[in-house]
Chains A and B, each alone.
Chain A
Amino acid sequence: MTGCKPFITPQTMSNGIVYCAEGSPNSFNPQLDTSGTTIDASSHQIYDRLLDFDQESGAVIPALATSWSISKDGLVYTFQLRKNVKFHTIDTFSPSRIFNADDVLFSFNRWRLDTHPYHYVSGGNYTYTDSLGLAQLIKDIKRVNGYRVEITLNHRESSFLANLASDFAVILSAEYAENLINRQQMQLLDHRPVGTGPYKLVGFKQDRFIRYSRHDNYWRDTQLMEKLIFDITPSSSLRLAKLLTGECDVIALPAHSELDVIRQQSKLVLDERPGLNIGFWAFNTSKPPFDNPEVRRALAMAVDRNALIEAIYFDGAIPAKNIVPPMSWAYQSDINSISYNPVAAKKILKQEGFPEGFEMSIWAMPVERPYNPNAIRMAELIQAYLQQVNIKTQIVSYEWDAFRNYLTQGLHDSVLIGWSADNGDPDNFYRPLLSCSSIKSGTNRAMWCSEEYDEYINQALQFEDIQDRQYFYNKANEHIAQHIPLLPIAHASRYQAYRANIIDLSINPFGGIRFAGVSKNNE
């Protein structure tokens, strides 16, 4: 058929999208891993969740669950499941039945129960659900009938639905899992996945590519490309070069310094969206003199945050006032934030007994993250500011894994780090960053434990109504502003660069990239 016209662009080219990703996923199951690379490669391509977030409003909307009801005491959630949802057919498995309650039970019990046959397959670490304590929160999951599931909680928690809509609460196929047990290849569940999502995995070569093809019986009525390819390209400048030549249609994480190059190209589009993240400077409040809130205040006043933002983020971030960004409903714009005042800072230090200043360390994370693209440079700038108030500083950095390990042990004086939220609920900022229990799980970098604060954020979860919850989060915001366990610096924007002929691609504010519904025009 193509014989008569040999030198034309083949049909396949226009019927697929190439996404240049920054790395290889560890597995194809987001239950196991919080790394953004794994989520991008699996969560929204291969799987579906019971619920989804509305891309604009952030509200929880139906997905595999068509409707749900919550009992009056807020403890029992009943989900009505969607019918006629088909799983992927792959070369080693063809599903004999459609999605039903068994799949929900299987997927949730895997991380919830350590007696589950698959619990310890692939390591048995369920980082996300463990850090939120979801296994402890859920008392029981019951199959009411084939299309109705009832989840009972141990206590009320209003962020529960949001957690079920997050990237990590994917639904696997129970039938496939059973099939793998019979074949004694249980680990394939996470590496040759079967889901209900818009694309199915057809090939993966470490550090080279991931190939997906269209799931022909996808339940949503969205436009899908025949092929979806992840071209794994770790270097950000090479990704940009490939975008320019058209070898990539979409690229991951364009570097802040290259944004202007993209803006100047008429064939490329750069989308920008405020990110659900926070970059901050946390003080180790378990160590003197940082256990003194006044000293922390003085340190915070000694640093000009606006200058930091200009130097590090270019114009890709907004100054932070709270730990939640403005797009969250828990944001409080009228909070009295700290302004740059080295003279006052010196005065406070003198009052607190440090007229000669002191020495401290600033830990700067070694990797580039959306919330802080260059922590080491930022540490150098802070070093210069602190010099003016007679504080000598030493900048410390380790390899990323060791760095986080030492932070959890509390070896630092202060650290430049941040947080990206996984769902739209503000609890996702307040709890992991500053609650007492998160010191142990290793996300509370300030090592700060305040019973009053914990009380506020726990109470906020007792209510469903946003206005009621807002009241408690405002209290929490004020408490943070008063005690300054950490200095919020910036909420960085997220960027996505793609070629102009890609249609309907948007930045998913609540996590991984989504290719369902994205299509391509021929140039």
Chain B
Amino acid sequence: MNSVVLRYTNLMVITLIVLSLFSFALAYLFPGHPIENLTGLSTEQLASGYQHAFNYASGESLLVQYWHYMAALFNGNWGFSFHTGLPLYEEIKHVLPASIELSAYALIISVLVGIPLGFLAALNHHKTTDYVLLSVSVLGYSIPVFWLALLAIMGFSLQLGWFPLSGRISLFYEVPVETGYIVLDILLSDIPNKRSALLDVVQHSILPTLSIAVVTTTLIIRITRRSVIETLDTEFVQAAYARGLSTYQVLVRHGIRNALIPIFPLLAMQFTTLLTNAMIVETIFSWPGLGNWLIQAIYHQDYPAIRAGMLTVSALVVVFTMSIELTIRLMDPRRRRVRRGTI
């Protein structure tokens, strides 16, 4: 077991190092002076008193430069944005929670809707319910997220006026930023009308969450359906039927647990899709998250911000995927020798 942990950690560290190398290379690949791309400060500004803060040793060899770059990264010294002039670490610390929050809402909804529907489809295998759910899921899966989001805006915001179309809370509420997670921040704050603020957050979240959740839900329906069908086909389920258990009893005692085990690793794989979709949807709904922030950075050719944003997103995906894989390996030793890497 220790060797598994070691192997995964090793893999993760190497991937992260490659990522950091790439992000360091970006400073040279982007147009302009490398030190400006790294720090976000002009060479004149650097000369006047920032050297101690950004000691990248630009005269030294690349390896030494990289070393200094990594040291600065770990110190939370990520450079400054060209556009806003604010420290990137602080900026990302403020926008990242918004993206995570949105993805989490979407994931929760997808799981809560997708898994029961997947079971429903599997239990009615080759019946109308199954076919209907399957076709709906194919349809949902094929709809581009940005188009769905725009459609939702047109219908529910512009035509019906039920939901607002931008941001995550009305600007009238002045919620002090503590954690960056708006719901937590509201609960922690001492603003006078918490309840209506929370309601406002819910109203703002519904459309973006649903737009992302549709794709993930359809995926989960399909994954669950297949897994349940496979489980129901196994011999121990047949044996349970043979012992005279009802369908309900079979499901509760043998079906659910065994069907769910292969679902979770696949769910974790969806995290990447979810995050990508969240970033697209953010720009449409002006959700103040990482995706929206990165798009703005690209728009303003803010190279330090693009570099830092790219590093954050990729590191996040790598760490998350690897940790989930590791957890699953530790929980389910059966996977040790089986085909790995199947989706």
Contact = CB atoms under 8 A, between A and B. Distances in A.
30 contacts: A2-B195, A2-B196, A6-B195, A6-B199, A8-B196, A9-B196, A10-B193, A12-B172, A12-B173, A13-B170, A13-B172, A18-B171, A206-B83, A207-B296, A208-B288, A211-B171, A211-B174, A229-B171, A229-B172, A233-B166, A233-B286, A241-B157, A241-B165, A242-B165, A244-B157, A244-B158, A244-B161, A245-B157, A245-B158, A247-B166
A238 B166 contact: yes
Interface string B146-186: 00000001000110010011110011111000000000000
Contacts of B195: 2-3, 6
B172 A245 contact: no
Given A241-B165, A242-B165, A247-B165, A7 B193 contact: no
A209 to B, nearest CB: 5
Interface in A175-230: 203, 206-209, 211, 227, 229
Nearest to A15: B172
A120 to B, nearest CB: 15
Nearest to A9: B196
B174 A238 contact: no
Nearest to A13: B172
Chain A to chain B: the 9 pairs with minimum beta-carbon distance, closest first? A10-B196, A206-B84, A6-B195, A12-B172, A229-B171, A10-B193, A245-B157, A209-B171, A247-B164
B153 to A, nearest CB: 7
B151 to A, nearest CB: 14
Nearest to A209: B171
Q: Chain A's interface: helix, strand, loop or mixed, by majority? A: mixed
Given A6-B196, A10-B172, A245-B165, 16 more contacts: A2-B192, A2-B193, A2-B195, A7-B199, A11-B193, A12-B173, A13-B172, A18-B172, A207-B83, A241-B153, A241-B165, A242-B166, A244-B157, A245-B157, A247-B167, A247-B170
A16 B199 CA distance: 19
B172 A227 contact: yes
A9 B193 CA distance: 11
A320 B199 CA distance: 53
A9 B197 CA distance: 10
A48 interface: no
Contacts of A231: 167, 171
Interface string A9-52: 11111001010000000000000000000000000000000000
A245 B161 contact: yes
A500 B305 CA distance: 41
B84 to A, nearest CB: 5
Interface in B249-277: none
Contacts of B166: 233, 238, 242, 247
A355 interface: no
B171 A245 contact: no
A133 interface: no
Nearest to B177: A205
Interface residues of B, number: 25
A246 interface: yes
A522 to B, nearest CB: 14
Contacts of B84: 206-207
Contacts of B165: 241-242, 245, 247
Nearest to A231: B171
A10 B192 CA distance: 10
Contacts of B164: 245, 247
A250 B336 CA distance: 62
Interface in B178-231: 192-193, 195-197, 199
A203 B171 CA distance: 11
Contacts of B196: 2, 6-10
Contacts of A203: 174
A197 B157 CA distance: 36
A209 B171 CA distance: 8
Contacts of A229: 171-172
A224 to B, nearest CB: 16
A207 to B, nearest CB: 7
A11 B172 CA distance: 10
A516 to B, nearest CB: 20
Contacts of A3: 195
A247 B288 CA distance: 16
Contacts of B286: 233, 238
Contacts of B153: 241
A10 to B, nearest CB: 4
Nearest to B299: A234
Contacts of A244: 157-158, 161
Contacts of A6: 195-196, 199
A241 B161 contact: no
Interface in A406-424: none
Most chain B CB atoms below 10 A, which of A3, A9, A241: A241
B74 to A, nearest CB: 27
Contacts of B199: 6-7
Given A238-B166, A241-B165, A12 B171 contact: no
Contacts of B197: 10
Interface in A396-438: none
B161 A246 contact: yes
B183 to A, nearest CB: 16
A211 B192 CA distance: 18
Contacts of A8: 196
A203 B172 CA distance: 12
Interface in B100-150: none
B185 to A, nearest CB: 15
Nearest to B296: A207
A476 B71 CA distance: 68
Contact of A16 (B158, B161, B167, B172): B172
Contacts of A208: 288
